[in-house]
Amino acid sequence: MAQVTVQIDGKAYRMACEEGQEGHLEELAAGFDRYVGHLKSQFGEIGDLRITVMAGIMVMDELNEVTRRLARLEKETEELRKGREGVMSEVSRNEEAIALALTELTGQIQGMAAKLNGKPPVN
């Protein structure tokens, strides 16, 4: 386990993390420190615990919003996927119908050409 010291509200906190995750943990702590700083600038010194709880709630509110947006996007993606499958199925049916029509048309053209040339039609 790696050790990293982060600063939140001017206080140092020594934390353990997985090897290679030190930078990520420092970024998270810096982001949380910004929340704490923002709240302190708005409310003043109302107590470390209260500020920390308020910052935690703000983070959870943002996480909740992101989770809702992600769920909405996943639903839209699934709907688009289903719509695409329907369209592709329709395209496939249309291609089959066109191929059949072209085959019939080819037979008719060959029959007309044979009649014009005075030859029996080829089947």
User: How does pLDDT run across 82-117, given as a tens digit for each residue?
Assistant: 999 999 999 999 999 999 999 999 999 998 998 888
Token pair recorded at residue 26: 């420092």
Look up the pTM and report it.
Answer: 0.63
Query: 39: closest CA among 57, 51, 25?
Result: 51
Cβ contacts of 67 within 8 Å, gap of 6 or more: none
Q: Residues of the chain with pLDDT > 70: what percent?
A: 97
For residues 59 and 39, the answer to whether their CB atoms sit within 8 Å is no
pLDDT of residue 25: 96
Q: Is 21 helix (H, G, I), strand (E, B) or coil?
A: coil
What gap in Å lies between CA 5 and CA 17, rounded to an integer? Answer: 11
What does the domain layout of the chain look like in residue ranges? 2-82
